[in-house]
Copies of this chain bind each other. A is one copy, B any other.
Amino acid sequence: MQTVNWTILENKVSIWVREAGEKIKKSFAAPTPLEVSSKSAYNDLVTNMDRSIEQYLVEKIRTNYPGQSIISEEGFGDKPDTVNGILWFVDPIDGTLNFVKQQRFFAISIAVYENGKGKAAFIYDVMADEFFHCLAGQGAYLNSEKLKPIKNCVLKDAMLDLSMSWLKPNKRIDENVLTDVIQTCSGTRSYGAASIELAYVAAGFLNAYFTMRLSPWDYAAGLILIHEVGGIATRVDGRPIDLLTKQTSLLVAGPTLHGEITNHIRVKINEGKNVNEPDSVS
């Protein structure tokens, strides 16, 4: 197996990600930007941009790192059945609805794992020009600023990020499981782009991120940032995440807060409330 020079990899990927960001920005500035008449034309345009950016990134990876596996959203990658070796995770545009409606608050997310261990993470909030990046063991950064260790916040002082879907009837989690959590914490936010929300937890802008359904390309990079600053990431009941599972629940926070929320959820599960992993739902 090819030995990876991680510093060179970081330099290369940083360039690719910024170049991809420029392509997206140019598409907004074009004479006919995202102002398309019908909803299907709109969706086509988004899909085309998603595919074109993924194709660009996957080609760069294949050329520079031949033989390494890629898990990606739009299908230009591979379908590896093992985390052995080097594994790339690519999400060309995370936060598609924000991309469509706002033309902001979306990100390019790339992660590189070696034998199941996170090694390099890149999350680029294109329009804010905020580049969250990390080589495992060498510190996590927002642009050139090193992120501090995650704060050990308790629930009543915490700002939580989640989708409102999980507070109303849905097929993954009983709508009342989180009621106490929402009412106890100091505030809730919802930005609609998982990679940015994970990066925000790593950067201390948020104290926790909760979701019942997320794909590996959405969270793989964020998890590396989170671990680098001392945060904890598991399924919402505290069980470990499997990178090869198509979708998973996810709870990310500092150790104290993470324990507080997972304990709360386990109590609710023991009381008989439904908390279903995506894969367990038909």
**A164 at interface, CB cutoff 8 A:** yes
Residue among B97, B104, B164, B191 making CB contact with A167, cutoff 8 Å: B164
Known: A189-B190, A190-B188, A192-B187. A182 touches B168 (CB 8 A): yes
Residue among B188, B204, B207 making CB contact with A164, cutoff 8 Å: B188
Q: How far is the CA of A217 from the CA of B189 in the complex (A)?
A: 22
CB contact list, A126-174 vs B, under 8 A: 128, 157, 159, 162-165, 167-169
**A48 at interface, CB cutoff 8 A:** no
Neighbouring B residues of A189 by C-beta, 8 Å? 190-192
CB contact list, A184-243 vs B, under 8 A: 186-192, 204-207
Residue of B nearest to A164 (CB): B188
Neighbouring B residues of A182 by C-beta, 8 Å? 164-165, 168
A103 to chain B, nearest CB (A): 8
**A183 at interface, CB cutoff 8 A:** yes
Q: Contact residue range for chain A? A: 20 to 34
Neighbouring B residues of A165 by C-beta, 8 Å? 182, 188
A166 to chain B, nearest CB (A): 10
A195 to chain B, nearest CB (A): 16
Please state if B104 and A205 are interface contacts (CB–CB under 8 Å): yes
Neighbouring B residues of A183 by C-beta, 8 Å? 168-169
**A2 at interface, CB cutoff 8 A:** no
Known: A163-B188, A179-B168, A182-B164. A157 touches B104 (CB 8 A): no
Known: A182-B164, A205-B102. A39 touches B157 (CB 8 A): yes
16 contacts between A and B (CB under 8 A): A39-B157, A101-B206, A101-B207, A102-B205, A128-B128, A163-B188, A164-B164, A164-B167, A164-B182, A164-B188, A167-B168, A168-B182, A169-B179, A169-B183, A188-B190, A191-B191
